[in-house]
Structure 1
Amino acid sequence: MNMDTGSVHEDFMKGPDMNNFFEQDDELMNEKENEEKVVVNHKKSLVSPNDDEYDVLLKQLKIRLEESQGETIYSIGLGEGEVAGLSKADLEASIATLTSMAASLNAECLQLRHRTEEGGEVAEYLVRVRVQEKDFMEVRVAVVGNVDAGKSTLLGVLTHVELDNGRGHARQKLFRHKHEMESGRTSSVGNDILGFDCHGNVVNRPEHGSLDWVKICEKASKIITFIDLAGHERYLKTTVFGMTGHAPDFGMLMIGANAGIIGMTKEHLGLALALCVPVFVVVTKIDMCPPNILQETLQMLHKVLKSPGCRKIPVLVQNQDDVVVSATNFTSERMCPIFQVSNVTGENLNLLKSFLNLLSTRMPCHYNDPAEFQIDETFAVPGVGTVVSGTTLRGHIKLGDTLLLGPDPNGGFMSIVVKSIHRKRMPVKEVKGGQTASFALKKLKRSQIRKGMVMVSPALEPRACWEFEGEILVLHHPTTISVKYQAMVHVGSVRQTATILSMSREHLRTGDKAIVRFRFIKNPEYIRMDTRLVFREGRTKAVGTITKLFPYISAVAQNLRQSRPLKKSQQQLKPDAAASSSTLATPNASNAAASSTAISATTTTPATHHNPTSSTTTTKSTDMDSPTHDEIMQNAAYQYGSNSLNEPSQRNKRRRYHNSGKHHTTSRMNHSGGGNEVVASSTAAATRVDDAKMANNSTVEP
């Protein structure tokens, strides 16, 4: 949200286009003739404007509302190079003009503050669009802080409009598990919502102790989604996943006034700073804290925020004017508002609610881009089927759309159809970038989906990656980091162990920066360039940004691609495709670069038994022009070192031969080496006499 003069400057806050609220007006930015003739940058520009001035002001307000997703703050009585303030009559005329413009755009005007300056009176108004039902604005706030700081209690008080009794009554409404209620500590990622209407009033009305999310969303113009994260060190990985996978717009750091900055407080603050999430601070329990202890806590907080690692500007919010100033300058990421509240007496809770009402989302919509949705949770709902939830990163998804879901363990993507869409438990027909949603998928089992997978538009032609490079900054490590070091990598909703393959420096210590190449251990993942990542293992923590990707295509996908007739646009082979027709690249660490860049055809050598007198190896060639189903499956087994595709009769023969106590040899694929290595194993029950008999009588088993 951007505070500007009544003349409307052009430094508007960048935000998603409001495609559902306004028609596309191609002439808005091209009509410059009237704007050159009309002066709209003085403080009296809203005082009785003529028709041309009114049209220019209306178009500028429309642009601001579109770019800031339906709301903006308008200051009346401020101008460039002029003394601030208007006379009472001019101020009233300006307010009338603003109200008229807002009404023509189906918006409401809400006065935020009124003050007197040297040249007269100044007023600031919030202009917010009356959104259609089921199409509310959404802002996500991650709640972090040390254990026992009052995170869940504050959310219970805010969302259920009921003060706490001092013994944790309010937090019981947010817990999801029995052990959380018994211990009073959050161990999973929880969600709750706070709704505001177009006038800035809270619409949460609990019925019989529980919230009806559908009724809240029907009445609200803006929804604040609180992401309640764990404060205990034991659940740090859950907190990191909540900060990366749920894509919060802002972070709310909770500090107990009586305890101060202890435990995981600095850890969570550093995590938010590393992920470039703006943070505001809420100091709780001021009703039970002695004044001298509260003052010490605030002094320590100011010292931490002003330190070279944070470089924040702390602002203590004590009245409504401070709320407006903090909210309008908060998106700069430098200002850090500080609230002092009590969940028992309700002191200063109204200031916190007003601040939340003025926040707007930071994630751009990119409505016309191909759709991209990251999955952070999966469900199996009786009577519905498989349901996935997550965040829409860009584009828009409609009911009945066909998307690609993946990557699977082979790096492939499957086609799925969206059966139904819900936002905050309310059925909708469409979601767009920056919004969280849940999708019911057709003909899909929950076991086929995991956290970290994505649903994307087929136009993106997604490719998974085993390996990637990133610019890493080591925040803390007790010793040194070198090649082959393994740790957990968090990239968006992806959470998987990765190995360091190479580094631009020989060793890394605390405070070092380097370009590091990683490789996932278990599955290939879909990740994007310039995404922030967190690299952690125990007390080792590093942050950075992805700078390079190494896309990977499995052999199965390559064979299927080659078996299809080429489109006209694909008749000319690409250089990397032309070079990929010799040998199969396997996804292991030794030839990782080959598996990431070149996909090749195969010659398959099935498992055979070894005869001391005469050994025979059967080689089967694959027709790469039109591979059969059996050949494709054999390629998959060859690539991943699986012997599960052998005929049942052969398996039964070997099993009976082994159980008879005779000498037994098998051949298998050595997955780590990627080649055909014959491994002989003998049973302890076989004697040298048996071996001699076998040498004379054994035959090669088909």
Structure 2
Amino acid sequence: MSPDRAVLEQALERGEQEGGNVEFKERLTREIHLADGRLESLAAQLRHRVLSGDGEATYVVGVTDDGGLAGIDAETFSESMDVLSLLSEEAGSHIEEVQTWGVGDEGLVGVATICEGSMLNTDDGHIVVGTAGHVDHGKSTLVGSLVTGQPDNGEGSTRSFLDVQPHEVERGLSADLSYGVYGFDDDGPIRTNNPHRKQDRARIVEEADRLVSFVDTVGHEPWLRTTIRGLVGQKLDYGLLTIAADDGPTKTTREHLGILLATELPTIVAITKADMVTDKRVHEVEREVERLLRDADRSPLGIQRHGVEAAIEEISETVVPVVTTSAVTMAGLPVLDELFEQLPKTADGTGEFSMYIDRTYKITGVGAVASGTVRSGTVEAGDELLIGPMADGSFRDVEVRSIEMHYHRVDEAKAGRIVGIALKGIREVDIERGMILVPRDADPKPVREFEAEVMVLNHPTRINDGYEPVVHVETVCEAAAFYPEGRQLLPGDSGRTRVRFKFRPYVVEEGQRFVFREGQSKGVGTILDLSEN
């Protein structure tokens, strides 16, 4: 018997008791259980169960009154969770966690843990930081030590908290975006004991007055596309570029710095692995970093020399704070703690709700989940939204079932939050990265073409009519054809070009920044004018 199954077995063994905190329900439907005053009586029953369990109740759904495993289909289970969520809200509680098991061919049984108090609502101090840097320059290790407060063993032990695929752990390379979170309260940092445990990460979200989320990107050249997705496709407040003291700035370092600066993201440079080299070598790399930044028309600001307050006051599109660190000795990490605790949120989240979709999931008993960073506005459970565009440019009506942030269920999500939104009305297979969620009454205009101002950062020859790179704008990642004014653009050139998505339309806006790449060719651009379908 697996530990997860033991949760179900223990609930069934305890059974329904007069003064107990366990309740059996075969199913809950809107038509029956929310009609004719039943909501109030069932909410009172739920409140009694919560109080009997000292603030926590267990609801077993998909079983008969005597605890027999009946099993219900996925759609009925989802409706039951919706009703249970409404009952919990009425009772001043919230669903903390749901675990499900299969019964028979298509039946489901679930255990919902219901806790006293409303769902979490975080303040506006939550900042999102995107990391970048060459492979093996210590990005994931540095973030792992920050979120856990644990020193690295010199072999990347804290990096394992962020590498999510088995081949990444084995090779010591990150091949996809991963996420880390820690926070602060009046007593200082609140860290995770083990970020792999969703309950531990949820605890941080629940306890912290201020949150810092990291989008940890990829340093290896073959996965540059994923790095660009992390830096362009998330609503970031700051960039964190790592440069190893034993290696110094590399070609990849320069590319990642170019992307960060081209997207006008306030950036911090962390020189890592200071424990591996002499003080003389550290000073040499610090000088190299200063030259690199000045060559990019940026002013370096040494935090350890000028102080955290100066860095907070001066960080901008033109001033780049620099800090020397070691995840092994933890040198420089208290400086980063102090910095992240005080840095203001920069991303503008005003306006109506919108979110570009970065990932999709299918969760048994819940259905389709779209993950991404809320770009603007606020979304709440029960909101009616549009999702799209589909390949033909159309949009689908969907409803928000529930929202999770770092494994903690929340009642709403504001701009800048990295969230998963469970959606009713669409299958997971019909959702694609690059689609957008907007309110039902919005009038989104998908386009195939737009005019843009671009700068060619690198190209072996020249860009001519019909040049087809991959364009990254928000979470959109699509091949597109370029048709520049004057019919060509040389390396280092800036100019206007018409851009046409090759396969389908997307929702983009004037003023959005984008990155394009094809082989060793790379560039950046800004959308100027749109052409509707």
CA–CA distance in 2 between the matches of 1:299 and 1:378? 43
Task: For residue 476 of structure 1, report the CA deviation from its aligned partner.
Answer: 1.2
Report the CA distance shift for 1:488/1:208 in structure 2 as closer, same or farther (over 3 A).
closer
Residue in structure 2 matching 1:347, options 311, 314, 331: 331
Question: Residue 522 of structure 1 aligns with which residue?
Answer: 503
Question: Residue 466 of structure 1 aligns with which residue?
Answer: 448
Paired AA for residue 337 in structure 1: P
Question: Residue 122 of structure 2 aligns with which residue?
Answer: 135
Task: For residue 186 of structure 1, report the CA deviation from its aligned partner.
Answer: 0.7
Judge conservation of contact 1:134–1:426 (CA < 8 Å) in 2.
no
Q: Does 1:278 align with 2:273?
A: no
Residue in structure 2 matching 1:389, options 360, 371, 384: 371
Task: For residue 458 of structure 1, report the CA deviation from its aligned partner.
Answer: 3.1
Q: Does 1:298 align with 2:282?
A: no
1:150-183, Cα deviation, whole Å (9 max, x unpaired): 1111111111121111112111121111111111
Counterparts of 1:82-93 in structure 2, within 5 Å, are: none
CA–CA distance in 2 between the matches of 1:196 and 1:452? 33
Question: Residue 211 of structure 2 aligns with which residue?
Answer: 223
Q: Does 1:370 align with 2:352?
A: yes
TM-score, with structure 2 as normaliser: 0.75
Q: Does 1:168 align with 2:156?
A: yes
Q: Does 1:419 align with 2:406?
A: no
Judge conservation of contact 2:404–2:419 (CA < 8 Å) in 1.
yes
Paired AA for residue 480 in structure 2: A
Aligned-residue identity in percent: 34
Report the CA distance shift for 1:209/1:376 in structure 2 as closer, same or farther (over 3 A).
closer
Residue in structure 1 matching 2:416, options 434, 438, 441: 434
Which sections of structure 2, spanning at least 5 residues, go unmatched?
1-118
CA–CA distance in 2 between the matches of 1:406 and 1:314? 42
Task: For residue 210 of structure 1, report the CA deviation from its aligned partner.
Answer: 4.3
Which structure has the larger Rg? 1
Residue in structure 2 matching 1:507, options 466, 475, 488: 488
Report the CA distance shift for 1:514/1:318 in structure 2 as closer, same or farther (over 3 A).
closer
Task: For residue 275 of structure 1, report the CA deviation from its aligned partner.
Answer: 0.6
CA–CA distance in 2 between the matches of 1:283 and 1:370? 39
Which sections of structure 1, spanning at least 5 residues, go unmatched?
1-131, 553-702
Residue in structure 2 matching 1:322, options 307, 331, 344: 307
CA–CA distance in 2 between the matches of 1:481 and 1:209? 45
Q: Does 1:359 align with 2:343?
A: yes
CA–CA distance in 2 between the matches of 1:277 and 1:505? 31
Question: Residue 520 of structure 2 aligns with which residue?
Answer: 539
CA–CA distance in 1 between the matches of 2:516 and 2:272? 31
Question: Residue 406 of structure 1 aligns with which residue?
Answer: 388
1:567-626, Cα deviation, whole Å (9 max, x unpaired): xxxxxxxxxxxxxxxxxxxxxxxxxxxxxxxxxxxxxxxxxxxxxxxxxxxxxxxxxxxx
Question: Residue 40 of structure 2 aligns with which residue?
Answer: none
Paired AA for residue 316 in structure 1: G
Judge conservation of contact 1:253–1:282 (CA < 8 Å) in 2.
yes
Judge conservation of contact 1:422–1:428 (CA < 8 Å) in 2.
yes
Task: For residue 336 of structure 1, report the CA deviation from its aligned partner.
Answer: 1.4
CA–CA distance in 2 between the matches of 1:241 and 1:311? 25
CA–CA distance in 1 between the matches of 2:374 and 2:177? 18
Q: Does the residue aligned with 2:141 lie in a helix, a strand or coil?
A: helix
Task: For residue 303 of structure 1, report the CA deviation from its aligned partner.
Answer: 0.8
* Matched residue count: 413
Residue in structure 1 matching 2:299, options 310, 313, 321: 313
Higher relative contact order (CA 8 A, sep 6+): 2
CA–CA distance in 2 between the matches of 1:180 and 1:354? 31
CA–CA distance in 2 between the matches of 1:171 and 1:371? 34
1:451-484, Cα deviation, whole Å (9 max, x unpaired): 0000112333112111111111111111111111
User: Of Structure 1 and Structure 2, which has the larger fraction of its residues in strand?
Assistant: 2
Paired AA for residue 219 in structure 2: G
Report the CA distance shift for 1:243/1:511 in structure 2 as closer, same or farther (over 3 A).
same
Counterparts of 1:536-615 in structure 2, within 5 Å, are: 536-552=517-533
CA–CA distance in 2 between the matches of 1:491 and 1:407? 15
Q: Does the residue aligned with 1:270 lie in a helix, a strand or coil?
A: helix
1:24-65, Cα deviation, whole Å (9 max, x unpaired): xxxxxxxxxxxxxxxxxxxxxxxxxxxxxxxxxxxxxxxxxx
Question: Residue 147 of structure 1 aligns with which residue?
Answer: 135
1:264-292, Cα deviation, whole Å (9 max, x unpaired): 10110001011111111111111120222
Paired AA for residue 412 in structure 2: E
CA–CA distance in 2 between the matches of 1:337 and 1:541? 26
1:58-90, Cα deviation, whole Å (9 max, x unpaired): xxxxxxxxxxxxxxxxxxxxxxxxxxxxxxxxx
Paired AA for residue 399 in structure 2: V
Q: Does the residue aligned with 2:322 lie in a helix, a strand or coil?
A: strand
Report the CA distance shift for 1:205/1:458 in structure 2 as closer, same or farther (over 3 A).
closer
Q: Does the residue aligned with 1:202 lie in a helix, a strand or coil?
A: strand
Residue in structure 2 matching 1:202, options 189, 192, 203: 189
CA–CA distance in 1 between the matches of 2:291 and 2:250? 14
Q: Which runs of at least 4 in structure 1 moved beyond 4 Å after TM superposition?
A: 207-211
CA–CA distance in 2 between the matches of 1:133 and 1:446? 26
Task: For residue 377 of structure 1, report the CA deviation from its aligned partner.
Answer: 0.8
Residue in structure 2 matching 1:266, options 254, 257, 263: 254
Q: Does the residue aligned with 1:175 lie in a helix, a strand or coil?
A: coil
Task: For residue 195 of structure 1, report the CA deviation from its aligned partner.
Answer: 0.7
Judge conservation of contact 1:371–1:394 (CA < 8 Å) in 2.
yes
CA–CA distance in 2 between the matches of 1:375 and 1:208? 23
Paired AA for residue 239 in structure 2: G
TM-score, with structure 1 as normaliser: 0.57
Paired AA for residue 326 in structure 2: S
Q: Does the residue aligned with 1:147 lie in a helix, a strand or coil?
A: coil
CA–CA distance in 2 between the matches of 1:268 and 1:513? 19
1:346-369, Cα deviation, whole Å (9 max, x unpaired): 122111110111112111221xx3
CA RMSD of aligned residues (A): 1.6
Judge conservation of contact 1:370–1:459 (CA < 8 Å) in 2.
no
